[in-house]
Structure 1
Amino acid sequence: MHKAPASAVPVFKLYGETAVWPTPDLLHCESIAERSHRHDWEIKPHRHSDLVQLLYVQSGTAELEVEGVVHRVQQASLQVVPALSVHGFRFSQDVQGQVLSLALPLVEQLGALLEHPPLARPACYPVAGQQRYLDTLFDSIAQEYSAQQPGRELMLQSLISALLVWVGRRSLDLTRAETQVQDRGREHLQGFTRRLETQFREHLPIEHYAAELGISAAHLNALCRRLAGQSALQMINQRLLLEAKRSLVYTAMTINQVADSLGFSEPAYFSRFFKRSTGQSPKDFRLQR
């Protein structure tokens, strides 16, 4: 989906409309098809200044982009679109689902009752085994919204509160899962640095360390870049370089002996490694210290 510059992104009350809010309610409910079919099943990037949207894809396929993150949906999913988030959608013509737009005062009123506000960040939640529950909930909201029955406002607030509780629980589950992934990542990185400390002289390939940790080399590299700001190979080389500098400064070993102690097969190879890393030969480095 083409990304428009922020200054060129239109701000709508509802997509394609610049008129005032079309209902006295603090919410608006419609089917996905109701608006998207008028725009050739594509909602181009835009944002809402004072609306939060919950887009529920029940069936069909969709490409949902919010703040540059794209989810290609082929199963029932609920997309949260916070206020001011740039978003755009594409739908298959057989898409079934609902779009619920909530004005910020209503979101703040109902969200104040929850410990963790569930609509503050974009997220796409697969519905999985809870589709029947969400189908019933969204159908009830749509029916109550379109009818003018006694107690309508209270019923709508109750139904939306139930929906927010569902989203809040999924948000907490996602946060916990992300925390667990981060914790496992730190554990893997710590395991790598511990092994590196005892094995760096052996010039082992990254695949060796990854296998000892029970992860792939690509995963180990990604963890090192994300948590340490370097690739796994850079960390190995930095550890070798640190030991080389220590040996050149604090010992009387010859350069050949330093190279041998660090596992280099040839002194010339060590000298090339050192100069490539520092811009100096081992001899010049030692003389300047």
Structure 2
Amino acid sequence: MPDLASPVPVYALYGEKSALPFADRLHWETLASRSSLHNFRIDPHRHEQLFQVLHLAGGRAEVVLESAARTITAPAIVIVPALSVHAYRFDRDVQGTVLTLFQTDVRAMLDAHADTTGALGAPVIITAADPAVADALADLLLEAGNRDGARGLALTGRVSTMLAALVRASRRALAATQPAPEPAVRHVQAFRRLVEQEFANQRRLAFYASALGITPGHLNRSCQTVLGASAMAVVERRVMHEARHYLMFTAMPVKQIAYALGYSDPAYFCRAFCRSASMPPNRFRSHQSRSSVFPPATP
């Protein structure tokens, strides 16, 4: 398997795609279709915002999760939350699917219920056959290809059912010893949860560090190690993601959006948005209004 001693790439996705309607924020593909482009080998990397479920339906795979490597054979499920280092090497006759969702969507669904708050926060390999997970995933993918009315509502329900099956199966799998996330990852995971609560309040670095019980320097080093960006750059990316959402899906004036996101000076907000999107807010809105956010229907 690839050497984990080298820097691990972080694949971030803070752009406009995360503002799509829920039904169009799902992505799925076969294991063969993607891995065959890379000689059936996916080198170590992490996703900043994405939650993935890999379903190995046939064949064998060598898997790296964080610092642990193992070989799995079908049937198996691999759960990869955001920020988890992962890598694969597949047999050439591999069969299965990888499903990708936004971590924020997954967390919102799980944290809406007391008995699943915080669930699926660690990477897990489920090696025992679990018909409930396989059936829930199959139903989800079947609906994902359906372009009939109420598709978003149906997909939301099927994602919830799949997550419930994953929570139950992962809790059984986690009865076995699993390596704990490295300290820097734990700090960044807690930081990103706090950012979700506070990003519109223009908090300073010291606020976040104090809330997490670490120094500002420690928080910055953790973010640089895990995400390749400073802590306040992570906050600004989250704010700019929200700004894109307002510009695309509301008619709020730019000045009002700036105030809603905690900026007392709309001009400062416009400069920050330009740094992020390489264009002013009004031009971004005009550009998006001429482009459909819905992908073309598939036959």
* Distance in 1 between residues matched to 2:133 and 2:168, nearest whole Å: 14
The structure with the larger Rg is 1
Q: CA deviation digits over 1:3-55, x for unaligned, max 9? A: 2346x3222258xxx98649933321111112111111111111100111111
Task: Name the structure 2 match of 1:10.
Answer: 9
Asked if 1:49 corresponds to 2:27, the answer is: no
2:37 partner amino acid: R
TM-score for both structures, normalised by structure 2? 0.52
1:19-34 counterparts in 2 under 5 A?
Answer: 21=17, 24=20, 25-34=24-33
Task: Name the structure 2 match of 1:158.
Answer: 157
Structure 2 SS opposite 1:2: coil
Q: In structure 2, do the counterparts of structure 1 residues 13 and 38 end up closer, same or farther at CA, with 3 Å as the change threshold?
A: farther
Task: Name the structure 2 match of 1:126.
Answer: 127
Offset at 1:93?
1.3
1:23-102 counterparts in 2 under 5 A?
Answer: 24=20, 25-102=24-101
1:69 partner amino acid: A
Q: In structure 2, do the counterparts of structure 1 residues 72 and 20 end up closer, same or farther at CA, with 3 Å as the change threshold?
A: farther
* Distance in 2 between residues matched to 1:99 and 1:23, nearest whole Å: 21
Task: Name the structure 2 match of 1:188.
Answer: none
1:125 partner amino acid: I
Offset at 1:113?
3.4
The 8 Å contact of residues 56 and 76 in structure 1, kept in 2 or not, is answered as yes
The 8 Å contact of residues 56 and 79 in structure 1, kept in 2 or not, is answered as yes
2:121 partner amino acid: A
* Distance in 2 between residues matched to 1:143 and 1:71, nearest whole Å: 31
Q: In structure 2, do the counterparts of structure 1 residues 177 and 104 end up closer, same or farther at CA, with 3 Å as the change threshold?
A: closer
Offset at 1:162?
1.1
Task: Name the structure 2 match of 1:242.
Answer: none
RMSD value, Cα: 2.6
Structure 1: 5+ residue runs without aligned partners? 180-289
Q: CA deviation digits over 1:97-122, x for unaligned, max 9? A: 11111102211111113413332001
Structure 2 SS opposite 1:54: strand
* Distance in 2 between residues matched to 1:112 and 1:149, nearest whole Å: 29
Task: Name the structure 2 match of 1:113.
Answer: 112
Percent of pairs with identical residues:
31
The 8 Å contact of residues 79 and 124 in structure 1, kept in 2 or not, is answered as yes
* Distance in 1 between residues matched to 2:37 and 2:47, nearest whole Å: 19
Task: Name the structure 1 match of 2:257.
Answer: none
* Distance in 1 between residues matched to 2:62 and 2:17, nearest whole Å: 27
Structure 2 SS opposite 1:47: strand
* Distance in 2 between residues matched to 1:124 and 1:174, nearest whole Å: 7
Structure 2: 5+ residue runs without aligned partners? 179-299
The 8 Å contact of residues 133 and 166 in structure 2, kept in 1 or not, is answered as no
* Distance in 2 between residues matched to 1:43 and 1:88, nearest whole Å: 5
* Distance in 2 between residues matched to 1:78 and 1:23, nearest whole Å: 28
2:56 partner amino acid: V
Offset at 1:151?
1.3
The 8 Å contact of residues 66 and 85 in structure 2, kept in 1 or not, is answered as yes
Task: Name the structure 2 match of 1:171.
Answer: 170
* Distance in 1 between residues matched to 2:4 and 2:27, nearest whole Å: 26
Offset at 1:67?
0.2
Structure 1 SS opposite 2:11: coil
TM-score for both structures, normalised by structure 1? 0.54
1:115-264 counterparts in 2 under 5 A?
Answer: 115-116=115-116, 117-128=118-129, 130-131=130-131, 133-176=132-175
The 8 Å contact of residues 52 and 119 in structure 1, kept in 2 or not, is answered as no
1:109 partner amino acid: A
The 8 Å contact of residues 118 and 164 in structure 1, kept in 2 or not, is answered as no
Q: In structure 2, do the counterparts of structure 1 residues 175 and 79 end up closer, same or farther at CA, with 3 Å as the change threshold?
A: closer
